[in-house]
Structures are given as structure tokens and as C-alpha cells.
Structure 1
Amino acid sequence: MLGKISYSLMIIGIAGILLSITLISDYSETIILVVMIFGIVMLSIGAFMKSFINQTRKINEKKDSQ
């Protein structure tokens, strides 16, 4: 469940960054900056969740093996 959410957040973040790159010539700098920051934040939250899930999985595997 959390894995799917983290992947979704990373995809939303990448889409936001790509969207801000395509908006450069059409809209004001404020809108581009807001979309870029939103994309970076979503990407970093998704990556953090993914690393947290992997770390928790490794800890649980170590506990089970002992």
C-alpha cells in the first residue's frame, strides 16, 4: 500500500517538474516556481517514503532470521 503511494508521489513530482519546464515560455515566473517546488517536494516525499519502506523491510527480515 505505502509502496504504491510512494511511487505515485514520485510520478506526480516528476510530472510537476516536467510541466513546469513546458510552462516556461507561456506563464509567469511565479506559477512556474510554484509548480517546480510542488514537483520537487512530491518527488522527495515519495523517495523518502520508498527508502523508509525498504529500511523497515530490511529490519523486519533481520528480526525474522534471528
Structure 2
Amino acid sequence: MKKTLLETNPYLKNAKNRTQALARNIETSSAIEGILVKRDAKSGQFVSQKESVNSPLKATKTSR
């Protein structure tokens, strides 16, 4: 039987590093889609944020 990804990928072998990488992946991938999420310190769950201070301005129509 083939080895699993957890057994072969050195970045996933360490549980602490795997958890941190997963959190970073969720935050950055969500940001690309325009969804702002952060990990709640108490529950460990990812929660959506309504607005970001650094969010880009909405596109407006131009006269052409």
C-alpha cells in the first residue's frame, strides 16, 4: 500500500507546523476570494470578519 501524504511530506509530519500551515493557507486562500477570516483564539475556529481596514476600494464605472 502507498504511503499517505502525512507520511511522505516533511512539512506535514510535525503536527504543530501542519496546524500553522493549514491556518495560514485558510487565511490567504480566503483573502484571495475576498473573504476575510481569522482564527478565534478561544475556540480555534475560523471566523469571518465583516470589513478590513486594508480592503481595496470598490470598482466604479468609468465613462467610456
User: What TM-score range do you get, normalising by the shorter chain?
Assistant: 0.3 to 0.5
Report the structure number with the largest CA radius of gyration: 2
Higher relative contact order (CA 8 A, sep 6+): 1
Could you say which structure has the higher helix fraction? 1
